[in-house]
Structure 1
């Protein structure tokens, strides 16, 4: 049987990165989930499904599906009696709880707590259970229906507002210890809490449980959260000796340089040490050299314990490097080796690397933990240091030791030694027991039925819940199953959730190959570059949407897509068109081609520009002294962009190996020899 299904309607869906099912794959996905095999020809570029189904789900009869469709239609139209007649026939239908949810959700003001509790028991394992519970609790909480609240929520909810109602309910029902402990936990926050918590906090206060010590502890949290108004309010609530401490903390918040008056802060108390510590952290953000100067005095004058001193050291070291403050850096370097902080050491290493201070760089790498030193990244740079010292044989031996890995630095090492790149592939297999268990999974059955009913957002949520509750063998099996259906992003997310890092077929599927090949040829761009970008950007989730509003497989910003469409004389049909693989790859390929042209076919710069924007790349290229390619990549100021460039280059190697490009080189001569 052959289908050609090329047009789809657009549905609303939640905005987040992660697994998602939608669009033109709908017909194929649904039929396969129901145990049918077919050859699908269309914009998803899926491969023919010829292998036996890994998981076999019960088939929904035509009669049941008709009852479900009619019940859903009746419920939408408010025909309750007609709805109930059809609903009686659907106890075995996997989506019966969806009908129940919508029925109860529309009547949340009139249903009982017992009805909610009963629904949650029947919907266990589905996101619907807590969705209805939250809606019900938000309604009855302000109405102070405490008995009903605890019936519907016998355990503490997760949202702050609902937690406050929960502990008010505990107090009213006689569980004083639970209620007051909850009040204290909620109150000790650096941020203002919702108004729903005010009554709970007031009852806790009236019970005489709010102490100066707790007010002080919260003030320190608020200081670091930079909640200026709340800090001022709390400072006025302190009494006794704490009142003076509160006023002093408030004062140094507004002017942390006050701690230079050593006589004013000579009292060796825990509260005074906390004030000094808070002031130093705030001052270090703008004047790390002054913070270091004051800290050197107070470290000697007051009895800071070892752990507290180390925490302050780390904060000051971090800002010394962030601000590139030369006076503070000299002190920071002297303290860094004693603290055993790999993260801070790596920050300093990159500064030294940018300066190409090879002797200092060797010392800094040597101060990393042994585990961190042994990573391919720092073994590569130790080899580069050996090359600078003329120790070619030692450098080659070190590069040889990392050349069999599957990452950017392993591939750099292999290219330098003229060795073959390695996939380091460890194939995974379907677990027969897991396959049998998943064939009985109500969650997977719901996903199949939701797809058939065009309830795509709900199907995605169910998939996420299913992964959370599955074992690793089940996740691997689900990954194979998703791959079999052509659900590329689901295969990737399942494999990652199972930590199957070496299962290359699952983590790096050959997806949308027809579209990538078509537009790679059209733009004269390597299709593996397009595939690598899409894999990094969206994990082949065609409906991915980033917090910054980038959309689709290649995560195009709407403004960029619109401008690119204008340049290639393509009619732009709005942001919804970016969820179509063909359109997204058409525009994404044109955009990367434009970047390649702008940067003289240098993929390092084009890839960095794709992530951070051309204007930033130009500013980074003008910064400081000229650098070799590897130094420039490792010292890109944005960690996201640095990781992105290295990942895309490595992913391109992985796809080149999978598609048979035996002579592929991760970096070309113009990229290796360029000055950055």
Structure 2
């Protein structure tokens, strides 16, 4: 196992003095007994386990042993036993974890008294909420049960089977109305849940049958909205049908939606909320589909809609055309707060430069150049100024340090890390942060950094919102490995560090929903291919959690991307996030652009933010480690046509 390099921030940003926190160390005997107890449980040696467990009452992880023991015996547990465990595990994720498991077990068995003993308050998950309200009905608190049924009913998606009985009881009580079925139909329409929409339509009765059939027909063929004679009554149901259909129609034909909207808004008294929802949807898809005629109409509605997200989408389209008057007009249509962001102040300055207003541009750039982000560093480049870190790290208070020394949660984190139960340690850390105030989070961030728990230090600093604590938010982790493989691949070590910081926050065990793994969040297929290319024996995805292997393969992949894109870090960074095939398509769309315009108009927001963050992080790491003559982008990268 590779040990993380010691913290090594430059003298320009002095590191905090060591914390004096005394936590009682676990003896080797305690650690050994804990390991033996876990092993006994795994092997089913219950008698041996109980003997060992009696000797571990003072061990921080005794509660984990209890959880493992009880979790394997859900069938035998009483509600009182579970409730007792939840009380003892307060402040740890284990209480809610066992509670969920027990409730999921007893819910289908209709052990309602036990359910309410363990969960006197409504649970969070939909399935358990359904069981909870069924329990309330059986207990006789019907108002709570039926209110819960109504709340759960109003969903645009199908609910778990556990809800079926609850809905049946609610319906038998005569409480489900046509209005509630109709309201759910509208939700299902918007959620594009065709099966649910059809099911609900068959449940309507009376006058609502006609509305249901009309909504179902329009869901299947929105262009039937053109048959104006079908819509005569100006009532809430008809307006809801037209509104839902217009919002669906605009996905495929913004121009058709505009034409129909212009007709219907003259004939019906739509609410302001309906008008805004319809027009925002039309504007969104007019821009998304790059429909020139529909976009011209959308431009006339932006100011009244006052929707920053839609205005920013249009700004980028006009920025790509380098239509500076349109860009200026649109920026000025943003909310005052949004206009003042560094992003749009930078672009207003660029417009002033384009218009020959150099003094105004300089003054505007000066106002943002002292900050610490991508736009501030672009502004500094324009003015030929040094980049600023704007660093300031608060120190822990004496009271917060004292709290840490007696924190059971922190003691559990320490023990779990020592026992290599990293997933559990992460869950405990999240709980610890959740139930701490900002002063304690500051102390936790310092403590985690000193322990080499890099991602814990980062998460604590973020929760404490100490944005200027650069040494805590951007630790110099695994420096020897980054330097070694950067030299081997002839790439910049700060690029590797910046990517790892953005990808995983230095959590070596990070795993994304898309299955990217480790410090540099490598996809298994990419890692396997890179291992083949560099003649490294690939031993499976588990090795991607090893920092040395992960950085070795990640650095090789970065080298490959840089080579593919002629050593252009902007394109390599974008490719790392979105894939080289997408970058090639964005470059070859027939619109050569300056570097800053190209970055600003990257189609995927995630990739756009990613590129800007990694470029800024590189500056932070370069400045923080004392490098001289730092450049966010090379002259070649700035002058290239994108």
Structure 1 and Structure 2 fold alike (TM over 0.5): yes
Distance 1:520 1:90 in 2: 47
Does residue 445 of structure 1 match 2:411? yes
Whether the 8 Å contact between 1:636 and 1:642 is mirrored in structure 2 is yes
Distance 2:18 2:577 in 1: 40
Call closer, same or farther: CA 1:250–1:398 in 2, change over 3 Å.
same
> What displacement does 1:52 show?
4.7
Distance 1:530 1:515 in 2: 10
Distance 2:586 2:20 in 1: 50
Aligned CA RMSD, in angstroms, stands at: 1.6
2:521 matched residue in structure 1: 555
Alignment of 1:185-204 (within 5 A): 185-204=151-170
Q: Which 4+ stretches in 1 moved above 6 angstroms? A: 48-51
Whether the 8 Å contact between 1:43 and 1:582 is mirrored in structure 2 is no
Does residue 87 of structure 1 match 2:53? yes
Does residue 147 of structure 1 match 2:113? yes
Does residue 380 of structure 1 match 2:342? no
Distance 1:646 1:367 in 2: 24
Q: Of 519, 530, 535, which residue of structure 2 is paired with 1:569?
A: 535
Q: Secondary structure of 1:285's partner?
A: helix
1:327 matched residue in structure 2: 293
2:12 matched residue in structure 1: none
Alignment of 1:31-430 (within 5 A): 42-47=2-7, 52-430=18-396
Alignment of 1:580-591 (within 5 A): 580-591=546-557
Deviations 1:278-303 (A, max 9, x none): 00010000001100110011111100
Distance 1:246 1:406 in 2: 55
> What displacement does 1:61 show?
4.2
Distance 2:592 2:271 in 1: 45
Structure 1 window deviating more from structure 2 (506-515 vs 68-77): it is 68-77
Q: Secondary structure of 1:109's partner?
A: helix
Alignment of 1:631-646 (within 5 A): 631-646=597-612
Whether the 8 Å contact between 2:311 and 2:333 is mirrored in structure 1 is yes
Call closer, same or farther: CA 1:258–1:147 in 2, change over 3 Å.
same
Q: Of 513, 516, 531, which residue of structure 1 is paired with 2:482?
A: 516
Distance 1:418 1:290 in 2: 51
1:593 matched residue in structure 2: 559
Whether the 8 Å contact between 2:577 and 2:610 is mirrored in structure 1 is yes
Distance 1:78 1:573 in 2: 32
> What displacement does 1:100 show?
1.4
Which TM-score applies when normalising by structure 2? 0.97
Whether the 8 Å contact between 1:266 and 1:302 is mirrored in structure 2 is no
Deviations 1:466-519 (A, max 9, x none): 111111111111100011111111111111111111110011111111111111
Does residue 648 of structure 1 match 2:608? no
Distance 2:304 2:353 in 1: 29
Does residue 615 of structure 1 match 2:605? no
> What displacement does 1:65 show?
4.1
Call closer, same or farther: CA 1:323–1:203 in 2, change over 3 Å.
same
> What displacement does 1:66 show?
4.7
Q: Secondary structure of 1:552's partner?
A: coil
Distance 2:252 2:212 in 1: 23
Alignment of 1:18-33 (within 5 A): none
Distance 1:551 1:86 in 2: 37
Call closer, same or farther: CA 1:444–1:261 in 2, change over 3 Å.
same
Call closer, same or farther: CA 1:452–1:511 in 2, change over 3 Å.
closer
Q: Secondary structure of 1:458's partner?
A: helix
Distance 1:224 1:668 in 2: 48
> What displacement does 1:62 show?
4.8
Distance 1:124 1:43 in 2: 33
Does residue 481 of structure 1 match 2:447? yes
1:539 matched residue in structure 2: 505
What 5-or-longer segments of structure 1 have no aligned partner?
Answer: 1-5, 7-41
Whether the 8 Å contact between 1:190 and 1:224 is mirrored in structure 2 is yes
What 5-or-longer segments of structure 2 have no aligned partner?
Answer: 9-14
Whether the 8 Å contact between 2:393 and 2:466 is mirrored in structure 1 is no
> What displacement does 1:117 show?
0.5
Structure 1 window deviating more from structure 2 (450-459 vs 187-196): it is 450-459
Deviations 1:552-579 (A, max 9, x none): 1111111111222222222222212211
